[in-house]
């Protein structure tokens, strides 16, 4: 999986007209670096807290620590997230989102 890439379609929920971007990133990218790519792609400065919520597991910055169980976005790679999503898909789950 070292050289594999994934194409992501990112859209802003509730935006009218729909605001979206297509990203092609390496599977081995950390979630922290993915956040930086998202910020750059959307024209954001990264001034807000962020959190990826994948099948009930919080992945984000240490500032979200008060939310309880969470994983550092510097340690989790996109390939880990994809593996979790595929495993959950087999169980009929599809709940994944990013919030800030």
Per-residue pLDDT reduced to its tens digit, 58-99: 888 766 556 567 788 888 999 998 888 888 776 655 555 555
The whole-number pLDDT of residue 99 equals 52
The whole-number pLDDT of residue 12 equals 85
Answer yes or no: are the C-beta atoms of 93 and 81 closer than 8 Å. Answer: no
DSSP letter at 97 equals: E
Q: What's this model's pTM, rounded to 2 decimal places?
A: 0.77
Helices 31-42 and 78-89 cross at an angle (nearest 10°) of: 100
Render 9-46 in DSSP notation, one character per residue: EEE-TT-SS--EEEEEEETT-BHHHHHHHHHHHHT---
User: 3-class DSSP state for residue 66?
Assistant: helix
Indicate the pLDDT class of residue 1, thresholds 50, 70 and 90: very low
């Amino acid at each position: 999986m070292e050289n594999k890439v994934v194409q992501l379609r990112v859209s802003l929920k509730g935006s009218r007209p729909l605001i979206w971007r297509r990203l092609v990133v390496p599977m081995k990218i950390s979630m922290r670096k993915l956040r930086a790519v998202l910020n750059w792609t959307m024209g954001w400065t990264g001034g807000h807290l962020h959190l990826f919520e994948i099948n009930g597991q919080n992945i984000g910055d240490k500032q979200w620590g008060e939310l309880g169980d969470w994983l550092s976005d510097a340690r989790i790679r996109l390939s880990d997230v994809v593996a979790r999503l595929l495993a959950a898909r087999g169980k009929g789950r599809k709940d994944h989102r990013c919030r800030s």
